[in-house]
């Protein structure tokens, strides 16, 4: 019975994360006019130390998004003049993603809306609760990154057959 309860709680937790992610996506578009990935890209590019850009692959790893997803978002941000792809100085085949001056000004103009979004989103949590939530989400992220796929029934059967011969 305890294992069933554990599965039930885990199912509820992961479903709530799914719902929260969808609500976040919907609310960011409504409140700030950006998708969560656009928001994350602009935020990542605006970080101190990245004024000269960041390699495309490094940005995918930092944001934990697929190359295809990031490429689509970058194309839109490029059309809007917020980012540019420039040749990587060390690798002619690679590109750096650079926040343009227009993109930086746009990001800065969004800061009051973003601050208000954060305040409303965390309204029912105390500072200590927010720190705890961040701590537990960091732990969950690390655990999720360590997940190894379980073997399929066919793979497990094949392994068992190999031991019997």
**Is residue 118 located within the same domain as residue 149?**
no
**Is residue 107 located within the same domain as residue 120?**
yes
Measured CA angle at 99 (ends 42, 30), to 5 deg: 30
Rounded distance between C-alpha atoms, residue 20 and residue 26, angstroms: 10
List pLDDT tens digits, range 77-96: 999 999 999 988 888 788 89
For the CA atoms of 87, 91, 96, 101, the dihedral, rounded to the nearest 10 degrees, stands at -50
Residue-level pLDDT at 91: 81
Dmax over CA atoms of the chain, in Å, equals 69
**Is residue 118 located within the same domain as residue 130?**
no
Number of domains in the chain: 2
Q: pLDDT averaged over the chain?
A: 91
State the DSSP code for 151.
Answer: P
**Is residue 81 located within the same domain as residue 140?**
no
List pLDDT tens digits, range 63-76: 999 999 999 999 99
- Tell if the pTM clears 0.85, that is, is over it: no
Look at 152 and 60; give whichever has higher pLDDT: 60
**Is residue 8 located within the same domain as residue 56?**
yes
Task: Provide the CB-side half-sphere exposure for 71 (13 A, CA).
Answer: 5
State the DSSP code for 124.
Answer: T
Give me the phi and psi of 143, to 5 degrees please.
-65, -40
What does each C-alpha distance from 129 to 19, 135, 141, 147 come to in angstroms?
Answer: 20, 10, 18, 27
**Is residue 24 located within the same domain as residue 8?**
yes
**Is residue 110 located within the same domain as residue 153?**
no
Residue-level pLDDT at 158: 66
- Domain with 57, as residue range(s), is 2-124
Tell me the DSSP string of 64-86. Answer: T--HHHHHHHHHHHHHTTSEEEE
**Is residue 142 located within the same domain as residue 110?**
no
């Amino acid at each position: 019975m305890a294992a069933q309860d554990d599965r039930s709680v885990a199912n509820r937790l992961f479903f709530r994360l799914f719902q929260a992610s969808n609500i976040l996506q919907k609310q960011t578009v409504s409140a700030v006019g950006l998708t969560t990935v656009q928001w994350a890209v602009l935020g990542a590019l605006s970080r101190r130390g990245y004024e000269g850009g960041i390699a495309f692959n490094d940005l995918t790893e930092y944001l934990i998004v697929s190359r295809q997803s990031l490429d689509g978002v970058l194309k839109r941000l490029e059309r809007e003049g917020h980012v540019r792809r420039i040749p990587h100085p060390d690798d002619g085949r690679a590109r750096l993603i650079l926040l343009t001056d227009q993109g930086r000004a746009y990001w800065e103009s969004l800061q009051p809306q973003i601050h208000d979004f954060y305040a409303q989103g965390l309204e029912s949590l105390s500072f200590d609760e927010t720190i705890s939530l961040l701590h537990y989400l960091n732990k969950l992220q690390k655990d999720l990154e360590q997940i190894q796929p379980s073997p399929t029934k066919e793979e497990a059967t094949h392994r068992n057959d190999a031991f019997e011969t």
